[in-house]
Amino acid sequence: MSTDGSLIAVYPGSFDPITNGHLDIIKRGARLASHLIVAVLNNTSKQPLFTLEERKAMLREAVAGIDNVEIDSFDGLLVDYAAKREAKAILRGIRAISDYETEMQMAHLNRHMRPETETIFLLAAEKYSFISSRMIKEVIKLGGDVSQFVPAAVAAHLRFNR
């Protein structure tokens, strides 16, 4: 936290696509941070389902009305981005023990590279603990309905643009 008690946090991810689980973490994280930056990773080595701009647009629509949330994107190291944005915390969601093991390793690595940045873990709400972007993409590719698992912005985008 800064001397004035404010906390800037970054919630990074590919958000390809954003799920209701992501949205739940964003809403809960926004209650903890003064300013929450949802940062979409621009990973050119992967073939995303949605473009970077589409993902950012869907996120903006999904978080409309949450005043302290900003949508941005980054490439490169997360800790470098956090430093550039003066964030003191990285927010991560945990769905299962397997997530924790991976996230713990990344948190330790990030702390070694930038000790002043802490990682905050939020447990996924039970009703979202089985949802992942990877699984959603599989259902989409096979022509299934994912509207109960994703924000309305994503469902609408799929109906009108796919």
Tokens found for residue 115 = 């000790």
Question: Which residue from 90, 124, 106 is spatially nearest to 22, judged by alpha carbons?
Answer: 124
Tokens found for residue 81 = 């981005």
Query: What is the C-alpha separation between 67 and 79, in angstroms, rounded?
Result: 24
Residue type (1 letter), 52: L
Contact 88, 1 (CB under 8 A): yes
What residues are annotated to the active site? 22, 46, 95, 133
Query: What is the C-alpha separation between 81 and 11, in angstroms, rounded?
Result: 11
Query: What is the C-alpha separation between 86 and 23, in angstroms, rounded?
Result: 23
Alpha carbon 84 to its chain centroid, in Å, reads: 18
Chain position carrying tokens 């800037």: 8
